[in-house]
Amino acid sequence: MTFDPFNELAGGSALRFDEGQQDDYCLPVASHSPETERLDYLHDVYKYHAGNVPDEVAKLLSDGNQRRILDVGCGTGKWALEMVEAFPDIHITGVDLYHPPITAFPSNFHFEIHDVTKGQEYADDTFDVVHARDLHAGMPEYHVMLVECIRVLRPGGYLLLKEIEWVPKLLDGGDAEQRFPAICERTFRNALSERFLDPLVGINLESYIDNVPGLVDIQYSRHMVPMTPWSDDPILNYTGQMTRMAMAILGGTIRVMLLDHGEPNPDNRYKAGIEELKDLTGQPIWYFGSIIARKQGELRDSEGTTDQYAEEMMTEEEET
């Protein structure tokens, strides 16, 4: 049966609270349905609004070198899988706290379990591209994560970031909190702050980037996404549908976190949110911020460089 977040209280709870997991991440593991569905819906939203990679990076990844990519907090691995299909010459390393829901990895997609709040395991100047998307709920010190991403980037390599702005708005600029009080409710944001996480990383993405050294050619863009399928435009309608599904799932999976935060009745809150998401007479929207930046220096071809990383990968692949 197909999972329908509108007909059941989605997800139950964040596994990490229920099953005694040892890390501090406040959302369910990406391999656990319906979190898998939520992340894959959002993946489509990001892709339809901003592409998997910008054109200049697509050009680099098609230049015939085996370009190396790090996907930090790779979640379900959907972005990485689409990337290796689109750019067969590349090699992607995905890292996350938990294994993605993938049984057979393509040979150029390598996955490692690692808590990136403890730093990246890789040598300086290892990757041509570092991708980090939607990580604010796992990074109490987002800027420290950025510094590590820059360290492992090769000079001239690209840093690609995307983060959600957790502040619903109305297309016409009206008062979203008055029109959609349940969707705009701030308990989740407050619960993140209580856990020393910054729910406003998306809004502050530019200043986070301005405050880490070593980057040049910084391009920031902000993308508007419908929160429900109110638009006649087919793409916006689709991303509105995907967002609505993702929000309905999130509303269910954060209930234990909200109880922990002191919210007395997260289920009523969830039901009120679902009713608002069904109402297509308003035009609620959200934004995500996107950064493309380069590490200072000139990017060389990977051929002819000392390549300890590639040797390590090949040895591991031979062993498996």
**Which of 130-138, 211-219, 240-248, 281-289 is the region at the interface with ligand SAM (rule: CB under 6 A)?**
130-138
97 is an interface residue for ligand SAM by CB under 6 A: yes
289 is an interface residue for ligand SAM by CB under 6 A: no
Q: What does the alpha-carbon distance between residue 105 and residue 108 come to, in Å, rounded to a whole number?
A: 8
Binding mask of the shown chain, residues 2 to 31, with x at each position contacting ligand SAM by CB under 6 A: -----------------------x----x-
Q: Which is nearer to ligand SAM, 94 or 168 (CB)?
A: 94
* C-alpha closest to that of 202 among 158, 237, 168, 243: 168
Q: What does the alpha-carbon distance between residue 41 and residue 243 come to, in Å, rounded to a whole number?
A: 7
Residues with Cβ within 8 Å of 142's Cβ and at least 6 positions away in sequence, in order, are 135, 136, 198, 201, 208
Q: Which two tokens stand for residue 248?
A: 């309905």
Instruction: Give the DSSP per-residue string, 283-310.
Output: -EEEEEEEEEEEESS-PPPSTTS--HHH
Q: Which is nearer to ligand SAM, 52 or 283 (CB)?
A: 52
**Which of 9-17, 81-89, 112-120, 281-289 is the region at the interface with ligand SAM (rule: CB under 6 A)?**
112-120
State residue 228 phi and psi, 5-degree precision. Answer: -140, 165
39 is an interface residue for ligand SAM by CB under 6 A: yes
70 is an interface residue for ligand SAM by CB under 6 A: no
* C-alpha closest to that of 66 among 78, 51, 79, 84: 84
**Which of 73-81, 174-182, 249-257, 312-320 is the region at the interface with ligand SAM (rule: CB under 6 A)?**
73-81
Q: Which residues contact ligand SAM (rule: CB under 6 A)?
A: 25, 30, 39, 43, 73-75, 95-98, 115-117, 133-135, 137-138
